[in-house]
Each structure stands twice: as structure tokens, then as C-alpha cells.
Structure 1
Amino acid sequence: MSNNQKRIGKEFQECTQTPPKGCTVKLVDESNLLKWEIIMDGPEGSIYEGGHFKLLLTLPNDYPFKPPVLNFQTKVYHPNITNDEKGSMCLGMLRADEWKPPNKIINVLKMARGLLEAPNPDDAVETSIAEQYKNDRKGFEKTAKDWTKKYASGK
């Protein structure tokens, strides 16, 4: 077993035994440590409360020297998550130029959940949603709650 596989196994164990609040983690396929399925509950008190969002975490072969890729597979109305089938996130620590090998997956998941609690419209990938967030908060919240009910209400 290579060093990166040992590290991934250790991090997977940490994420399943003591997962970040509101997250459950499992492998997509038991024989592949590089693809994880995460179910992230919408944080209490947030506009995403009550939602169960499915995410896919994909680790590169040269992890931890390259960052993982984290995508929302459940549609979500959010300025920092692309509004397409990719569900890509704008999360600083996941950018290749900002990723550091000591970073851990558990912290990536905590940061992703933090974005559900507090969107960052100044670092948006969906500029129209960011504009609505800034200029029509009630309209943004209504649409986000509607999408959460429509796309993220089942587990």
C-alpha cells in the first residue's frame, strides 16, 4: 500500500468515525478509496435546513499533493456552487494554487458545510445568484428554500 493510500485510508476512517457535524461519509465503491459519497444536511437555522445534499468527493492519484474535487450532486441554489450538472464549488482551499498537503478532507467538508451556513457572494461562481443574494435577500432565500424542498428533501 502506497503512502498516499495509507493517508487516504486514515482520513476516510476519521471522516466516518468522527464525521463533521451534519455529514455522513461512505465510499461510492468499496474497492475504490478515491471516490467518496457525502450526505450533507443543511445546517440548522440556515435556508438549507431540512435538506440532504449528496456530494461526490474525488481524490486525485497524487493526493495529498493535489487537492480533492468536491461536487454537489444535488441541485442547490447558491452563489458559490455552479447551477449545472457538475455542481462545482468555489472553495478557496480546493484551488490548486491554494491547496497544501497538510490540509485534510475533514476540513474541506467543514468548509463546504460552512458555505451552506454563510454563502460568500464576493467569491461567486453564479454571479446572478450572488447579485440576488446581495440585492434581494428575501427573493434569494425563497428560491433557495424552494430548491431545497424540491431537490434535497429525500435522503
Structure 2
Amino acid sequence: MQVTFITSPELLAQKFHLVAPLLQPVVKQAARGEFSVEDIKQMTAEGRVISAVAEKDGQAVMAMAFEFVHYPQILAVNIMALGGHGLDAIADEFWQAFRDWCKSAGATVIEASCSDAMARMLGRYGFETVYRVVRAGLE
């Protein structure tokens, strides 16, 4: 498996077309209007978000977008979106590469706001519920 972390304009031009179709269903089904795939691309271009794509046998099989969150005492990596095909089959291999990359960047934790189903999947990789996010509209 080849994992590319999109951290330059050149990589954005070369690889984001692989990321977009894998994240579109996630944005449509799981995000609650917080962002679009185009927003993820723009934030990646600005360096506010890092997008990543995993390719296996020449096919893009998983993509994600994440951001650094600077808390006073820790540096976290927040997974904004994660999508792909056959995630269970490739998650183990990708997960180790992602953890290593986060550690090398100075992060001490990885976090995600996600659905209960995604939380169950991520639970297999050491995630546990820390907070519960609640929201009230102001319309």
C-alpha cells in the first residue's frame, strides 16, 4: 500500500482527484454541513488541513482529511473525514502508517468527531469516547 500525505501544491494537483470521490459520500452522509469536499481541497491548499490517500494495486482505496489541533498541553490530530472501499481490510496497514506519521509530526493524540458506527470501527484501533459533542442551531 502506498500512502501519500498531501502537503504541497504539487501533491495536491497530482493526488486530490483521488481523494475527492472517496470523501464525497462521507461529506454527504456524515458531515452536518460543516464542510464540503471543495472546502477540504481549499483548506489543504492553504495548509490548514492535510489530505491523504492510500493506493493499493494502482487504485485509490482510502482517503482522509485531518487537521492539527493545538491544545495548551497536547497536540492532537483531528480526523475530519475518512472514507474508502473495504476499510476494514486496509485499515490495519494504513493505521500504522498514519500513527507513525502523526508521531513524527509531534502529535500525542488522534481524535475524531464521528457517528456511533465510525466510533465502533475506530474503537478497534484504540479510540475511546472522551467527550460527547452536542449542538444547538441558532436559526
Q: TM-score, normalised by structure 1?
A: 0.28
Structure with greater strand share of residues: 2
Which has the higher Rg, Structure 1 or Structure 2?
Answer: 1
TM-score (norm 2): 0.30
